[in-house]
Amino acid sequence: EVQLVESGGGLVQPGGSLRLSCAASGFTFSSYWVHWVRQAPGKGLVWVSRIDTSGRYTDYADSVKGRFTISRDNAKNTLDLQMNSLRADDTAMYYCARGVGRLGETPYYFDNWGQGTLVTVSS
C-alpha cells in the first residue's frame, strides 16, 4: 500500500523557519516525482513545489520561490521542504503528493496524497 506521511508542522513566528518531511513507503520512491501542495484555511488547493526522481530538478510556485527549498533522500525514502522567511499567508495544511503520468508523459497529476501537516505562521 502506498503511504505518504507528513511531519514537521507547527506554530512559527513570521520570519521564522520550519522544515517539513514526508516519509514514503509501499512503492519505489526513487522512481517518482513528488510534490508539495498546500491548502490555506477555508481556501482551495495550491501547488507549491516539485522535485524530479534524481533530486536535481525542482520547480516552485512564484509565491514561495527563493524562500522554500524542496529536497529528497532516495536512500531514506523521504521528501523535505525547508521553509524560510515564513509569512502569515504561508499558513496552511501542507500535503505531499506523488506525481504520475502515462508512459511518455510528464507526470502531470497526483495519484496518492498524505494526510497533511499543519503550518501556522503567527506572532
The CB-of-16 to other proteins minimum distance in angstroms stands at: 26
Q: Does residue number 52 form part of the binding site for other proteins (CB under 8 A)?
A: no
Which residue reads 505531499 in cell numbers?
Answer: 96
Within 76-115, the residues that bind other proteins by CB under 8 A are: 95, 97, 102, 105-106, 108-115
Q: Which of 119, 95, 111 is closest to 11 using CA atoms?
A: 119
41's CB contacts (< 8 A; 6+ apart) are: 91, 92
> What is the number of other CB atoms lying within 10 angstroms of the CB of residue 31?
9
Is the Cβ of residue 37 or residue 92 nearer to other proteins in the bound state? 37
Q: Out of 12, 50, 78, 94, point to the residue binding other proteins (CB under 8 A).
A: 50
Is the Cβ of residue 41 or residue 123 nearer to other proteins in the bound state? 41
69's CB contacts (< 8 A; 6+ apart) are: 58, 81, 82, 84
Q: Which residues bind other proteins (CB under 8 A)?
A: 35, 37, 44-47, 50, 59, 61, 95, 97, 102, 105-106, 108-116
